[in-house]
Structure 1
Amino acid sequence: MHPATNEPFPSDGPAPMDHTGRALDRAVRELERHVARGGWDGPVRVFALIRTAQAIARDPSLRQQLPPDLVASADADPEHVTSVEQEGLPEVDTLEELLGRIAWPPTVDGAAIVVERIVVPPEAEAGLPADPDAAVEQLLAHPAREDVRMAAGVLRSGHSACALRTRRHDDDAAVASGTDLVPGLVEALRRTLED
């Protein structure tokens, strides 16, 4: 639900109708569900996205190392995307700084991120205290505050996919999805893939 209106999050329609877009949409939804199983108040999580079939073609030994269901998915769908979580992320003050420090090698087909944010209606930001800590405290206490988990993924092909879940409606069936629900996050991820 959109915190300001209590209406469902808008969706910019179904995932792109082409095969690659559907594969990315599926991967981003799976990432969001995976992170959701760990509960709320988690850290930012970053993932490399790799086309599974291409990875196996580059390194055939992966066929024996990967779970059989993943190999079967890659055999059935050449656009199947595998997510590889990145550990040891640098200590930074902002999400923008983190994404600004990430660059991917050519063997990585895309990138994804899962992050939680607090959303309040625009009027909640009026009259905030000048002290940043006091302002955050006031926003955290706002009755219309909504915790939102955002998952976004992009591929070098230009495809994007997003999934949004609110704490208030914490159910897999209530997750909104679309290609560009969080445009700023999608664009920041795209920049990590630039040469």
Structure 2
Amino acid sequence: MRMDDSPNTSSPLTAHPLTRAVLEIDEYASGLGWDQPARLFALVNTAQLRVEEPQLAEQLGPDPADHDASALTPVEQDSLPPHTALDEFLGTIAWPNAVTGCALTVERLMLPPSAEESVPEELGGAELNNWVAEHPDRQEVRMTVAVLRDGTRDSAVRLRSKDATTEVLTGERLVPGLADALAATFEE
């Protein structure tokens, strides 16, 4: 994947506006460093945002109408409530019509498929988390997942061990469970 090298932006040069938004959020989260809390973003149509909030035009950079009328702007939401399970929190969200989509960036520990086969069946909850945290093959990852109201989805995964923009994996099916949970925030 190629990133724009201009000094004024870190926006990726990709075809789909959702992919650009996902990578923009990933880059933002990367700039904050690791060991960060989950962050939730509303995704709004940039052209519409310019019309409704003209005072933000300078912060948004060049007018996307010159490039892509479907460009998306991520708007970070308030911090997630502490000590609330992510799935419970997502179940409480309802977005206004002006929100085209949403995205979440979250850090987790993951195991390769070979290690998942050795997970003791009797473990659950905190015991399972501790087992994964102590496993020698664990990988720390940052996942950025986004969905649009129309069901379009995309995601980016960054390994802490390969923390470079050129090493970010993207794809619509990388984190399907989280994408499903985000999509459910648009269901009425």
Q: State the TM-score, normalized to the length of structure 2.
A: 0.82
Q: Supply the distance in 2 between the matched residues of 1:129 and 1:181 (Cα, whole angstroms).
A: 25
Which of 137, 149, 167 is the aligned partner of 2:130?
137
Q: Supply the distance in 2 between the matched residues of 1:23 and 1:71 (Cα, whole angstroms).
A: 15
- State, as a whole percentage, how many aligned pairs show the same letter: 38
2:141 is matched with 148
Q: How far does residue 127 in structure 1 lie from its aligned partner after superposition?
A: 6.0
Q: State the TM-score, normalized to the length of structure 1.
A: 0.79
How many pairs are equivalent? 172
Q: Supply the distance in 1 between the matched residues of 2:94 and 2:30 (Cα, whole angstroms).
A: 26
Q: Supply the distance in 2 between the matched residues of 1:107 and 1:47 (Cα, whole angstroms).
A: 13
Spell out, residue by residue over 1:34-91, the C-alpha distance to the aligned partner (whole angstroms, 9 max, x if none): 101111111010000000112223x2xx233332553522453210100000014333
Structure 2 letter corresponding to 1:114: T
1:52 is matched with 46
Which of 89, 93, 97 is the aligned partner of 1:106?
97
- For the 8 Å contact 2:43–2:101, the answer to whether it is kept is yes
1:38 is matched with 32
Shift of the 161–143 alpha-carbon distance from structure 1 to 2, 3 Å rule, reads same
For 1:72-151, list aligned pairs within 5 A.
Answer: 72-120=63-111, 121-126=115-120, 132-151=125-144
Q: How far does residue 104 in structure 1 lie from its aligned partner after superposition?
A: 0.4
Q: How far does residue 147 in structure 1 lie from its aligned partner after superposition?
A: 0.6
1:67 aligns with 2:61: no
1:192 is matched with 185
1:90 counterpart SS class: coil
1:103 counterpart SS class: coil
Q: Supply the distance in 1 between the matched residues of 2:65 and 2:73 (Cα, whole angstroms).
A: 9
Shift of the 54–149 alpha-carbon distance from structure 1 to 2, 3 Å rule, reads same
Q: Supply the distance in 2 between the matched residues of 1:129 and 1:53 (Cα, whole angstroms).
A: 49
Q: Supply the distance in 1 between the matched residues of 2:119 and 2:70 (Cα, whole angstroms).
A: 43
CA RMSD across the alignment: 2.1
**Any stretches of 5+ residues in structure 2 without a counterpart?**
1-13
